[in-house]
Amino acid sequence: MQDLQQIRQYLHQNPELSSYEIETSDYIIKQLRALGISEISSVGEPKSILATINGTAPGAHILFRCELDALPIHEENNIDYRSEVAGVSHKCGHDGHMTILLGLAEKLIQHPLAGKIYLLFQSSEEIGIGAQAVLDSTELDAKAIDYVFALHNVPGFDKCSVVIKEAVFTPTVESFLVEFIGETSHAGEPDNGKNPAACIADSIQQFNQLHQPNKGQDDYFVVAPVFVKMGEESYGVSAGNGRLGYTFRSYNQGYFNQQKEKVEHLVTRLAKEYELEVKFQWKEAFNATINDNEAVSFVKSAAQLLQLTTIDKREPFDWGEDFGLFTQHYKGALFGWGAGNDCFPLHDSRYDFPDDIVTDAINLFHEIAKQIQE
């Protein structure tokens, strides 16, 4: 097997967007086969990869998961292995996460454990459809999975520190697109048309009233405007349509669903008041990741044995992760993996996954599995 740093940098150099990770999947399969792993299957659409490593004796069935996809971000770094795909780069560290799981595969071959280990290289995490596609495929139904684990690198924490939290680890996040449809008219006679400007302005004000950023309260609900678009840059025309994009997030799935209904009712009512048609859709849904206490205890115990720093996070992270769908079905935990205090933030055009945090992550995953099997 190639050196892990070379693998990570190859993946970094050849990023693919969500739902298009064909060459990435083929590369992962090639690496797994080079290790002698034969039980490899494509799971769901888009193309996720599931590898099975059979243990030395009966035991628990454990799934470890990483992500395949990159982001539509131009890379600013002037490095030898910079992205060769214009406007696309690994700015969330999924290249590093894949490398960690490949390294775990190698370690499990060299130091086998009991039970079964499943390695899931998941497509389309960034747009919130990959985990659902895997579950919809029913490929996991017959696996009798006992635990699921994943990590996500987190800049701003000491390298190789383990950032963990019981219960809610990441929030429910979902985006909302609404279109108000009226009628264009001559800009000199705007009353002859139906311009959505006032409706859009009213919608923005009322969305702002739903914003409650205090994380210490049960009604925590973050409202983030993403874009506003109305009409065209043609000054003789009064616009006849407009679009709004928002992202909403909450730690409580039930409360989030209540707020979704309120948002839908709000835009429907306003469209009627302003005599406009309305179309809306929800997209890129990320369910809250709810960590199981027992799974968290395995992570902490393994980290302690490896003498890694453990950080108990008081509040959930603010970013979404579709791993939450897996924790709805199985006991599991998602934890943060420190990427260093000098690492640029996730999704920053200058971000690059640190190669020197790979080996300890492999050892931690292996130790988690070892403790469960014992």
> What DSSP assignment string belongs to 86-127?
TT-B--SSHHHHHHHHHHHHHHHHHS--SSEEEEEEES-TTT
- Mean pLDDT throughout 306-312? 98
pLDDT: is 68 or 1 the higher one? 68
| The pairing of beta strand 241-250 with beta strand 222-230 | antiparallel
Residue 58, pLDDT above cutoff 80: yes
Residue 198, pLDDT above cutoff 60: yes
According to the model, what pLDDT value does residue 46 have? Answer: 63
- Mean pLDDT throughout 339-344? 97
According to the model, what pLDDT value does residue 1 have? Answer: 52
**Confidence label for 99 from pLDDT (cuts 50, 70 and 90):** very high
Amino acid (1-letter code) at residue 321: E
| pLDDT > 70: percent of the chain | 99
Residue 66 in contact with residue 97, Cβ under 8 Å?
Answer: yes
Query: Can you read off the two tokens belonging to residue 358?
Result: 């790979």
According to the model, what pLDDT value does residue 304 have? Answer: 98
| The pairing of beta strand 172-181 with beta strand 277-286 | antiparallel
According to the model, what pLDDT value does residue 216 have? Answer: 87
Residue 120, pLDDT above cutoff 80: yes
Residues β-bridged to residue 311: 163
Q: What is the dihedral of CA 359, 365, 367, 373, to 10 degrees?
A: -150
Q: For 124-173, write each residue's pLDDT tens digit.
A: 999 999 999 999 998 999 999 999 999 999 999 999 999 999 999 999 99
Domains of the chain in start order, with CATH, are 4-170+288-373 (3.40.630.10), 172-285 (3.30.70.360)
According to the model, what pLDDT value does residue 44 have? Answer: 83
Q: For 262-302, write each residue's pLDDT tens digit.
A: 999 999 999 999 999 999 999 999 999 999 999 999 999 99
C-alpha to C-alpha distance for 186 and 316, rounded to whole angstroms = 51
Q: At what angle do helices 22-34 and 94-110 cross, to 10 degrees?
A: 20
C-alpha to C-alpha distance for 216 and 219, rounded to whole angstroms = 9
C-alpha to C-alpha distance for 43 and 317, rounded to whole angstroms = 29
According to the model, what pLDDT value does residue 11 have? Answer: 98
Predicted TM-score (pTM) of the model is: 0.92
CA angle 10, 36, 358 (to 5 degrees): 40
According to the model, what pLDDT value does residue 2 have? Answer: 62
Torsion over CA: 57, 62, 165, 302 (sign): positive
- Mean pLDDT throughout 53-74? 97
State the chain's mean pLDDT as an integer. Answer: 96
Residue 258, pLDDT above cutoff 60: yes
Helix, strand, coil percent values for the chain (each to nearest 5): 35, 30, 40
According to the model, what pLDDT value does residue 356 have? Answer: 96
